[in-house]
A and B are shown apart, each in its own frame.
Chain A
Amino acid sequence: GIQVEQSPPDLILQEGANSTLRCNFSDSVNNLQWFHQNPWGQLINLFYIPSGTKQNGRLSATTVATERYSLLYISSSQTTDSGVYFCAVQNNNDMRFGAGTRLTVKP
Chain B
Amino acid sequence: SAVISQKPSRDICQRGTSLTIQCQVDSQVTMMFWYRQQPGQSLTLIATANQGSEATYESGFVIDKFPISRPNLTFSTLTVSNMSPEDSSIYLCSGITGGNTEAFFGQGTRLTVV
Where the two chains meet, the residues of A that have a C-beta atom closer than 8 Å to any C-beta of B are 30-31, 33, 35, 40-43, 45, 48, 50, 86, 88, 90, 92-100
Q: Determine the distance from Cα of A45 to Cα of B37 in the docked complex, in whole angstroms.
A: 17
The listed residue (B1, B37, B48, B105) touching A94 by CB distance below 8 A is B48
For the A-B complex with A90-B100, A97-B35 known, give 7 more contacts whose Cβ atoms are closer than 8 Å: A31-B101, A41-B90, A41-B110, A43-B108, A92-B99, A93-B96, A96-B45
Q: What distance in Å separates the Cβ of B38 from its nearest Cβ neighbour in chain A?
A: 12
Complex contact B108–A94 (CB within 8 A): no
The number of residues on chain B lying at the interface, defined by a beta carbon within 8 Å of a beta carbon of chain A, is 25
Main SS class of interface, B? strand
Give CA–CA (A23, B35) in the complex, Å.
Answer: 20
Report the Cα distance A33→B33, complex, angstroms: 16
Interface pair A95/B90, CB less than 8 Å apart: no
- Partner of A100 from B42, B94, B110 at Cβ < 8 Å: B42
Chain B proximity of A35: nearest CB distance (Å): 8
What B residues does A86 contact at CB under 8 A?
A: 42-43
Contact B45 A95 (CB under 8 A): yes
Point out the residue from B31, B41, B42, B103 that lies within 8 Å of A33, measured CB to CB.
B103
